[in-house]
Amino acid sequence: MKKIAVFIVALLSLLQVHAQDDLDLAVMLQKTPDSNQIFKSDDYYTWCSSVIKGEDGKYHMLYSRWPHGKRSLSGDSMNYIFDGFSGWLRYSEIAYATADKLESPYHYVKTILKGTGDNDVWDRFTMHNPQIRKFGKYYYLYYISNSFDSSFSLPGKPRDEKWMHWLQYNCTQKVGVLKAASLKDLINGKFEKSAQPIMQADSEHSFEVTTNPSVTQGPDGKFYMMYKSRKPNVGNMTMWMAVCDRPDGVFKTISEVFTKPEMACEDPCLWYDHKRKRFYAAVKYYSNAKVLAPDFGDLVLITSEDGRVWTPAAHSLISLKELQLKGQQQIHLAHLERPFVFTDNNGQPKALFAAASIEEPSKGDVAKPAPAFNTFNVSFLIK
């Protein structure tokens, strides 16, 4: 009888944990957004949105953008590798838009952060992957940037010259943060900017690159960051967890999110759900293994009780790479990524934002891509 009682207690405990993990964003998403929920520009690639509600009751979007077209040499004889869509690695800037409603329509206001090319700073060129958060009385804007390391090389056989030049920019990507007392201050340049990165590869756990930062506060009061990096001799990128006592301090890596290639993901948006008492992250599935979702590039949901050990959520699929606007036919997308989940103060999802394109943007006209080759941010309300 004692063994039976122990078994029942264990089973009830498992059922309780499972019951807490009942978030099903695929069911909750508004599947057919209005055309106003598409945010784009005719002159810029539009990517990487994050949104926060301001003191004024309006909604404020920080996002990445970079101009169409061919690049001038600008002191770099191989600068042509950044033509068109590839320009994100050197020419992305963080721009600002506002809306009266959470889902739309958003209107561009100004660019707030742009690379200066200054040789003496770590964030010399691109400004990318913005994520806006408020912790306590302050606003924090996390972002990535890079410089250039002409000495960077990879061991082994000789590499293509263009690819190596790309890596000499790519493998200097690090994470920084802006801190401001108000959104108005942040937008108007009255902020503290980290003089040094708050996350960079340590060559012990993570290597070469740190990107895709997403930060939330856990129930223990600490601040958790999920980010993407690389491992030696591993084909896929990996995601890591880091922690810090302050939202703008130097984060310390504590665990790897997934270790198996069939679970590879990127582009995390991390939050803590106070109702379900667990962390969640919306991510892009970076595998063809069909474990978390039917196809490479679908949006999926992963979860953790402690912020260290991660598993697929009970309802792991968020969205296929599809889009159907009201009154229009469903279309397959080349990209649906960089998910951002807007939540209320209790960690309950209210909207999903994602970057998208209909056709592969790197194959379109770099001067002025046709609509199907341009990029845009799309918003979905969550019921």
Walk me through the domains of the chain, giving residue ranges and CATH numbers.
2-381 (2.115.10.20)
pLDDT score for 5: 47
User: Distance between CA atoms of 4 and 276, rounded to whole angstroms?
Assistant: 28
pLDDT score for 206: 83
Strands (E), 93-237: 93-99, 107-113, 127-135, 138-145, 174-180, 192-193, 207-217, 223-230
Residue 14, pLDDT above cutoff 50: no
pLDDT score for 186: 97
Q: What is the pLDDT of residues 109-141, one digit of tens each?
A: 999 999 999 999 999 999 999 999 999 999 999
pLDDT score for 9: 43
pTM here is: 0.93
Find, among 312, 227, 296, the residue nearest to 268 by Cα.
Answer: 227
Residue 267, pLDDT above cutoff 80: yes
